[in-house]
Amino acid sequence: MKTPGLNNSAFADPALCQGLLHALEQKLDAPLRFMEVCGTHTVAIFRSGLRSLLPKGIEHLSGPGCPVCVTHDREIAACITLAGRDGVRIATFGDLMRVPGPEGKSLKQAKAQGAAIDIVYSPLDALQLAQQHKDEQIVFLGVGFETTAPTVAATIQMAQRKGLPNFSVLSFHKLVPPALEALLADERPTEEGGIDAFLLPGHVSTILGLEPYRFMVERYARPGVIGGFDPADILQSLLLMLEMRKKSVPAIVNQYSRAVSDTGNAHARAILFDVFAPSDALWRGIGLIPASGLVMKDSYAEYDAWKRFSLTLPDVPEVKGCTCGDILKGRRSPGQCPLFGKACTPANPVGPCMVSTEGSCAAYFKYAIGNL
Ligand code: SF4
């Protein structure tokens, strides 16, 4: 019998998904709690309706893979400080505009109060702004993971080749494997249990390949599947998790081989690490994670906004009441936050997980509010 819900447009191959769901039901011999690391997976699971179709006993937790959500209050405060300086024009992706910083203040509010802030769709747009506004300093806010950082690095290389004196990047880039290491090292299983397996991010893995995740198996005996974003990809990834558990052989497996090569994209990594070096970084709600950020190398120092404007991270109080940190670590679900859907909504977000389209609180609010 066809499972209701498989006929929506997200299911390109309903028959395949039906078969995969059936296989999952057959093979599920104990509860499976998996963490989807990437915000795109979170949204894919909700938007397709897959969450309600999964066999009882399979539970998903959202992880730290939404770049806007993990941007720290102090980093937002640094952006706002810089946005207020004369002669500076900030260029940023739109998602960052509404992220609350200290005392709830956002870049959107700073813009309303007169700061020069433009929304751009790529770092190249910011470079173009620098060419158009020669009398202003254009600062691109570099937010994102290994997926975005190579493009930003290539833009910095281009700015250097062009000798642009009024372009720089304020880097808040973050790296996924060190965050997973921190999460596993500090794992505190809840009443429901720990994390049995990880659905690893498809986009980030196009750059990284499999190698950077091997520590999860070697040091924590935890399996990970690099998965695509179609419902069938996610279901196949879950089956792979169950099969590994049955054989007691955890591994890092590549389900998304049509997009991710086992060795990743060496060319993109070469560009990335020509410009940037790993550095310690602050993650919202999680804290300082060693070697989990990217700082510009001395050979590109003139494009480093931290140095150009002698900026430091302001010491600011954290946003009160927001439990994004626990949500990003898989210790709570959005519905367990007392502010969810009351003081905190997409129209009036208290924390970043409610702002970003890939934030778990925003996804729960949009797709699951009546079904928590
Ligand atoms: S519902 Fe709002 S306040 Fe609560 S964790 Fe999510 S973003 Fe933070």
Confidence label for 192 from pLDDT (cuts 50, 70 and 90): low
Decide the pairing of beta strands 287-296 and 276-283: antiparallel
Atom of ligand 1 nearest to the CA of 341: 1
Please give the distance, rounded to the nearest whole angstrom, from the Cα atom of residue 355 to the centre of ligand 1. Answer: 9
Res. 225: pLDDT tops 80:
yes
Average pLDDT of the residues in 259-267: 97
- Give the domain ranges of the chain: 14-314, 324-365
Atom of ligand 1 nearest to the CA of 353: 7
Please give the distance, rounded to the nearest whole angstrom, from the Cα atom of residue 77 to the centre of ligand 1. Answer: 19
Atom of ligand 1 nearest to the CA of 354: 7
The best mutation among 318, 353, 364, 365 to test binding of ligand 1, ranked by most ligand atoms within 8 Å of the C-beta, falls on 353
According to the model, what pLDDT value does residue 242 have?
96
According to the model, what pLDDT value does residue 257 have?
96
pLDDT in tens, 120-134: 999 999 999 999 999
Res. 255: pLDDT tops 70:
yes
Domain 14-314: CATH superfamily is HypD, alpha/beta domain 2 (3.40.50.11740)
User: How many whole angstroms separate alpha carbon 51 and alpha carbon 43?
Assistant: 10
According to the model, what pLDDT value does residue 323 have?
87
According to the model, what pLDDT value does residue 77 have?
92
Res. 328: pLDDT tops 90:
no
pLDDT > 70 in the chain, percent: 95
Average pLDDT of the residues in 231-260: 96
Confidence label for 30 from pLDDT (cuts 50, 70 and 90): very high
Taking a C-beta distance cutoff of 8 angstroms, is the pair 175, 143 a contact? no
- SS3 call for 140: strand
Q: Which residues lie across from 90 on neighbouring strands?
A: 117, 139
Least confident range from 45-59, 160-174, 240-254: namely: 45-59
Cβ < 6 A, ligand 1 pocket: 321-324, 327, 334, 337, 339-340, 344, 350-351, 353-354, 361
According to the model, what pLDDT value does residue 325 have?
86
Closest C-alpha residue for ligand 1 atom 3: 322
Dihedrals phi, psi of 254, to nearest 5 degrees: -105, 95
User: How many whole angstroms separate alpha carbon 75 and alpha carbon 170?
Assistant: 10
Closest CA relative to residue 290, chosen from 196, 175, 371: 175
User: How many whole angstroms separate alpha carbon 310 and alpha carbon 361?
Assistant: 35
Question: Counting beta carbons within 10 angstroms of the beta carbon of residue 189, is it exposed (0 to 12), middle (13 to 18) or buried (19 or more)?
Answer: exposed
Res. 1: pLDDT tops 60:
no
Q: Which of the 8 DSSP states describes residue 211?
A: G
pLDDT in tens, 294-307: 999 999 999 999 99
pLDDT in tens, 92-125: 999 899 888 877 789 999 999 999 999 999 999 9
Res. 318: pLDDT tops 90:
no
Atom of ligand 1 nearest to the CA of 323: 5
